[in-house]
Amino acid sequence: MSKMPASKQQTVDLSSLSIQNLSSVKKQLDEELEHLTASFQKLRTAQAKFRECVKAIQNGVNPEVEGKTILIPLTQSLYVPGKLEDTNTVLVDVGTGYYVEKTTTKAIEFYNEKTKTVGSNLDDLEKIITQKTQNAKVVEDVLRQKVLAANSTSSTS
């Protein structure tokens, strides 16, 4: 689950750090940001999938389809005709290889709940990402100033 960033716990004066230290801090922040944005994307896709499941149940599994012939995808491009035996219950993948039989209403509830949880995780993550981006920017600014200062007073020591 999402963790709060470890920074901000102790305050370090950035201007007291050396160029080397600063650039490693910057690098670390960049790596964290990359990781977080990747997670953000993955959560987005997961959320979209849950929403799709809800839609699939609403459109595909209801009493209206009872008795009607539907096409069942065996692969992405191969379909066979079939009929739904039972339009009341569906099997839901709850994770780690377990499937639970649920009524369509319960299943929709389940997916909506999932969408909501993922949504709140997304919100948290977004906050962390903005915070981190800001941190990275500040570090970059200080780093640039340091480099400039070092260049203008070069050939010391």
Partner 1 sequence: MATVQQLSDEFADIQKKLQDVIEARQRLDAQYSENKAVQKEFATLDADANIYKLIGPTLIKQDKDEATMNVNKRLDFIEKEIKRIEGQIKDFSETSEKKKAEIMQIQMEQQGQAQPT
Q: For the CB of residue 31, give the shortest distance to partner 1 in the complex, in Å.
A: 12
Residue 50 touching partner 1 (CB under 8 A): no
**Selection from 64, 82, 62, 86 nearest residue 73 by Cα:** 82
Q: For the CB of residue 141, give the shortest distance to partner 1 in the complex, in Å.
A: 28
Q: For the CB of residue 93, give the shortest distance to partner 1 in the complex, in Å.
A: 8
Judged by CB under 8 A, the residue of 8, 67, 98, 155 near partner 1 is 98
**b vs e for 91-113, b when ≥16 Cβ sit within 10 Å of the residue's Cβ?**
ebeeeeeeeeebebeebbebbee
Q: Which is nearer to partner 1, 34 or 101 (CB)?
A: 101
**Selection from 3, 5, 4 nearest residue 136 by Cα:** 5
Measured distance CA(50)–CA(64) in Å, rounded = 23
Q: Which is nearer to partner 1, 6 or 98 (CB)?
A: 98
Residue 99 touching partner 1 (CB under 8 A): yes
Residue 95 touching partner 1 (CB under 8 A): yes
Burial of 16 (0-12, 13-18, 19+ CB in 10 A): exposed
Segment interacting with partner 1, rule: CB under 8 A, options 50-58, 76-84, 98-106, 147-155:
98-106
Alpha helices in the chain, H assignment, sequence order: 19-60, 104-152
Residue 75 touching partner 1 (CB under 8 A): no
Q: Which is nearer to partner 1, 100 or 138 (CB)?
A: 100
Residue 91 touching partner 1 (CB under 8 A): yes
**Selection from 128, 122, 107 nearest residue 47 by Cα:** 122
Sites of contact with partner 1 (CB under 8 A): 1, 91, 94-101, 110
